[in-house]
Amino acid sequence: MSRRPSDKLKMPHIFRPLKRASKWPIWADVITRLGVAFSLIAIVVLVHWVDRAGLKDSHDGQISFLDVVYFTMISVTTTGFGDIAPVSDRSRLIEAVIVTPIRIMVLFIFVGTAYNFVLKRTWEKWRMARIQAKLTDHYVVLGYGTSGAEAVRELIARGTDPACIVVIDQSGPRIQAAEAVGCNVLQGDASNDDTLIDVQIAKAHTVLVSAGRDDSSILIVLTVRHLAPNVPISVVIRAQDNELLARQAGAANVINPVSFTGLLLAGSAQGEHVADYMADLAAIGGKVQLRERPVRGEEIGKSLDQLASGGRGLRIYRGGKPYGFWEDEASKLQAGDMIVEVVNSETCEAD
């Protein structure tokens, strides 16, 4: 790779707040409020038309339908020019008992609309900026294509709160799709320093990179590693020749969907149930799951096949090196070991 994060032209940092989908779309809120308001006004027009004999027009003494509409609007808006007025006892009772409550309701609707679209949205923007400033231990998904979207769905299925997931993509439709499932979203270039700084990349739990192109994905990995030296990075790489480059760029995990598909195909050739079991391990909907976790205090000194979780220990990572369950290092667990185990899905949910 010829381009490094440090070589980029530095521009003034313009902070961009995250977005999160609201439960009630703006257009639906507007239509509902206007519909209710005009429905109430229509009721008042009908009441005034039925009781038009109790109204007096000081201009020509006649009450037409236009006069009724005019009187309704100035009455509901509390303008009150006095040219048309209720004169009968029944008309005054109707104004007091029916029209006045409706007038108050219409005013509340318009005041509520002003609050919702001015004050509330200003407050929501400020609140999201505050949340963004305090983001920590969150999942950052860079690229919401097929792989990124599937990763988000799997994270949510495994119990991750969508509010703890931040998605960055340059495509408007993809951003809208991520926003629709409840994720925090930011439309922008994931290889840009400022974009990643805005989502507190250095405080993330994990970064998942799937840009669609290997060169873009590797550049993003370089940028993330430059800004967040200690955050685990997983990246999707489609060409086997680029896997080493991705690891050299700083990726902790390199996933090649083509290679994985080949593994499933080869497994199916060796036995009809091998590929099925591998797919079961990878998905949350299966009967078993692969899980990585730190060793527990009560497991220190025991072997990998004596886990307190009841799972089947497969491998440990000690000092960054992997050891299988058959190796001597796995016969006595030590503090700081990371364990990879197979557990029953129900047991994993209970934990």
- Would you state the pLDDT for residue 144? 94
Burial pattern 8-31, b for ≥16 Cβ within 10 A else e, equals: eeeeeeeeebbbbbeeeeeeeeee
- Would you state the pLDDT for residue 68? 87
- Would you state the pLDDT for residue 3? 45
- Would you state the pLDDT for residue 333? 94
Task: Tell me if 275 sits within 8 A of 313, measured CB to CB.
Answer: no
Give the DSSP letter of residue 9: P
Give the number of other CB atoms < 10 A from CB of residue 72.
Answer: 23
- Would you state the pLDDT for residue 90? 85
- Would you state the pLDDT for residue 124? 59
- Would you state the pLDDT for residue 5? 43
**CA 169 to CA 185: how far, in whole Å?**
8
- Would you state the pLDDT for residue 10? 46
- Would you state the pLDDT for residue 300? 93
- Would you state the pLDDT for residue 316? 93
Nearest to residue 200, comparing CAs of 138, 127, 125, 141? 138
Mean pLDDT by 10 residues, the chain (351 residues): 44 53 62 83 89 83 86 79 81 84 82 66 65 82 92 87 90 89 88 88 93 92 94 92 92 83 68 73 73 91 90 90 92 93 71 57
